[in-house]
């Protein structure tokens, strides 16, 4: 699939797609950088696999990704949305949020560039950490993160400042941990601590589940404690 987006007579092409451990939206961190242990790979479309286009990129530690909310495209848009951070009960202007339901379904994420695999099959490939994207999300552009201009320690964060993340305590039986590849375990625990449940679902008796890295993760949450109740492999 190589979807094109027409904008005032100009066709925008995905330049790449990202490979992550999230085949669906459930469980993905709500912002980039919240789970540094999450690894991903950016794979360029064939016509953009030109090493010259990446010359100098290795000098930067972090990148901006401009991407498409490919699973949230709608024919219409609303001037107000209900941010999950506010429990889904308060409306804010769409341009005051990072909601996927926007006039143009574009997202912006800051990720860490871990390595460039120049000679890999289908390369060059970008190995990244901290991405908040679903597997196979189309990427429209990559820009280097520039600390002196992109970082603003004095910035205020609106409603996001007054609703900081209260991380859950994660209980994970050793017998279930033993089922998981070590490279995925720490990332999953960090994902679960962020509370992947929808803001409007807080039933302590409900068993929630989502796919992650070829596994189905089942859990419940009660009194600030998230308990993993089962791990089932869905891929060989």
Domain 169-233 has CATH 3.40.50.970: no
> Is residue 75 helix, strand or coil?
coil
- Find out whether 106 and 68 touch, Cβ atoms under 8 Å: yes
Please state the domain extents for the chain: 5-70+105-150, 169-233
Q: What is the pLDDT of residue 1?
A: 43
Share above pLDDT 90 across residues of the chain, in percent, rounded to a whole number: 71
CATH no., domain 5-70+105-150? 2.40.30.70
pLDDT band at 76 (very low <50, low <70, confident <90, very high): confident
The model's pTM: 0.89
* 219-226 average pLDDT score: 96
Q: Give the C-alpha distances (Å, rounded to integers) separating 90 from 76, 81, 86, 193.
A: 20, 8, 6, 24
- The candidate with the shortest Cα–Cα distance to 15, out of 53, 51, 59, 45, is 45
pLDDT tens digits, one per residue of 79-138: 998 887 777 778 999 999 888 888 998 999 999 999 999 999 999 999 999 999 999 999
How does pLDDT run across 134-177, given as a tens digit for each residue?
A: 999 999 999 999 999 999 999 998 887 755 557 999 999 999 99
Helices (H), the chain: 147-150, 174-177, 182-193
pLDDT, averaged across the chain: 90
Tokens of 23: 């085949």
Question: What element of type H or E holds 218?
Answer: strand 215-222
CB 21 within 8 A of CB 213: yes
Angle at 224 between CA 90 and CA 182, to 5 degrees: 110
Q: Are the C-beta atoms of residues 126 and 62 closer than 8 Å to each other?
A: no
Assign 171 to helix, strand or coil: strand
């Amino acid at each position: 699939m190589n979807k094109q987006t027409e904008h005032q007579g100009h066709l925008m092409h995905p330049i790449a797609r990202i490979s992550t451990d999230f085949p669906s939206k459930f469980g993905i961190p709500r912002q980039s950088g919240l789970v540094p242990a999450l690894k991903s790979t950016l794979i360029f479309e064939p016509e953009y696999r030109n090493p010259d286009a990446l010359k100098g990129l290795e000098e930067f530690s972090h990148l901006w990704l401009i991407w498409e909310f490919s699973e949230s495209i709608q024919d219409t848009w609303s001037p107000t949305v209900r941010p999950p951070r506010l429990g889904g009960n308060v409306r804010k202007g769409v341009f005051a949020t990072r909601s996927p339901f926007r006039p143009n379904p574009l997202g912006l994420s800051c990720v860490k560039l871990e390595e460039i695999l120049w000679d890999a099959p289908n390369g060059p490939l970008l190995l990244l950490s901290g991405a908040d994207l679903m597997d196979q999300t189309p990427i429209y552009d990559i820009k280097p993160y520039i600390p002196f201009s992109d970082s603003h320690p004095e910035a205020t964060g609106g409603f996001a400042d007054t609703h900081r993340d209260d991380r859950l305590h994660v209980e994970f039986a050793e017998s279930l941990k033993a089922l998981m590849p070590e490279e995925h375990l720490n990332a999953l625990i960090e994902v679960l601590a962020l509370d992947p449940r929808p803001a409007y679902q807080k039933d302590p008796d409900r068993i929630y589940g989502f796919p992650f890295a070829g596994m189905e993760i089942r859990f419940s949450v009660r009194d600030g404690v998230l308990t993993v109740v089962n791990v089932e492999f869905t891929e060989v």
